[in-house]
């Protein structure tokens, strides 16, 4: 699996816009900061994408950072690299 720009453990922020990026990126993650917990490489998914997107990461967010609810609960989302920047 070829490397990506981010490593497991990196804190990353999800961009608000990513020109040409995978449009199927959940709105509630945009502008939010989370941590990389897994790197999946480039996903070959010809049934859903006509061309492959940049590498995919699992990002974990604290519910507290998403909706302001207190507590330690978490949400993980799988996001493509073009949406992410180091926080």
Partner 1 sequence: MKDLEGHVDAVASDLEYFRRKRIEPRVLLYLRRGIISWPDLFRGHELAARQPEPRPQPDLELRIRALEDSLDELILSIATASIPSATHAVAIDDNRTERGDYNPEFRLAARTYEGDVETRIELLEMAVAETRHLVASFTGALVHAGEVTEEALDENRRRLGDLGYRNGARIVARAWTDPDFKQRLLETGRAAVRELDIPPGRLGKLGVAENTDDVHNIVVCTLCSCYPHDLLGNPPWWYRTDEYKTRLVADPRETIRDMFGLEIDPERKVVVHDSTSDVRWMVLPRRPEGTEGMTEEELAELVTAESLVGSTEIPPPR
Binding residues for partner 1, rule: CB under 8 A, are 22-24, 26, 28, 40, 43, 45-50, 56, 58, 60, 63, 66-67, 69, 71-78
Name the residue nearer to partner 1 (CB basis): 43 or 85. Answer: 43
Q: How far is the CB of 87 from partner 1 (least distance, A)?
A: 19
Name the residue nearer to partner 1 (CB basis): 11 or 24. Answer: 24
Name the residue nearer to partner 1 (CB basis): 31 or 73. Answer: 73
Strand partners, 38: 58
Asked if residues 86 and 10 have their Cβ atoms less than 8 Å apart, the reply is: yes
Q: How far is the CB of 85 from partner 1 (least distance, A)?
A: 20
Complete DSSP assignment for 23-77: S---GGGTT-EEEEEEEEES---TTT-SSPPSPEEEEEEEHHHHH---SS-EEEE
Angle (CA) 51-55-58 rounded to 5° is 125
Q: How far is the CB of 84 from partner 1 (least distance, A)?
A: 15
């Amino acid at each position: 699996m070829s490397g990506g720009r981010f490593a497991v453990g990196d804190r990353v922020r999800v961009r608000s816009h990513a020109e040409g990026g995978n449009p199927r990126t959940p709105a509630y993650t945009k502008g939010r900061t989370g941590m990389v917990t897994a790197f999946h490489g480039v996903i070959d998914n010809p049934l859903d994408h006509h061309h492959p997107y940049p590498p995919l990461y699992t990002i974990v967010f604290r519910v507290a950072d998403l909706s302001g609810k207190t507590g330690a609960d978490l949400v993980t989302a799988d996001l493509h690299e073009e949406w992410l920047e180091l926080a």
